[in-house]
Amino acid sequence: MEKYKEFFQTDRFAMNAGVELLKVEAGYAQARMLVTKEHLNAGGVCQGGALFTLADLAFAAVANSHGQLTLSVNANINFIRSVKEGYVYAEAQEMVNHHRLPFIEVCLKDEAGELVAIMTSSGYRKDKKLF
């Protein structure tokens, strides 16, 4: 767990966006991001790219949680509710732990537990070990 946290702390873009990795287990991860004025888009709500960045870090934590380097091939995100401030929590679950093509779902919720976005994403496992 600690080595995963250290590894993902080198994700400069996610760290700049304020993403914090809270938990990593085999096939499961939690992360969160505090939405501030720096995350808002021209419409005054949290930018889709900020939510995607949070979801992507949680995806990457799960995808790599078996120790094998895994990239994102494809991601599909549905925006359900807009957020203006406060924490957004990401919970990522590996639906399919395939040796080549894992499939992961990430739910984003606000502080009240309401669904903000759902992302599903396919990964591609390389032959290389993560550590």
* Selected binder of its own copies within 29, 60, 90, 108 (CB under 8 A): 60
Q: Is 103 in the site for its own copies (CB under 8 A)?
A: yes
Q: Is 100 in the site for its own copies (CB under 8 A)?
A: yes
Q: Pick the piece of the chain touching its own copies (CB under 8 A) from 23-31, 46-54, 86-94.
A: 46-54
Number of H helices, E strands in the chain: 3, 6
Going by their DSSP bridges, the two strands 28-35 and 103-109 should be labelled as: unpaired
> Which stretches of the chain are DSSP H helices?
2-8, 12-16, 48-63
Q: Is 8 in the site for its own copies (CB under 8 A)?
A: yes
Q: Is 56 in the site for its own copies (CB under 8 A)?
A: yes
Q: Is 118 in the site for its own copies (CB under 8 A)?
A: yes
Nearer to its own copies, 72 or 111 (CB): 72
CA angle at residue 6 from 46 to 35, to 5 degrees?
15
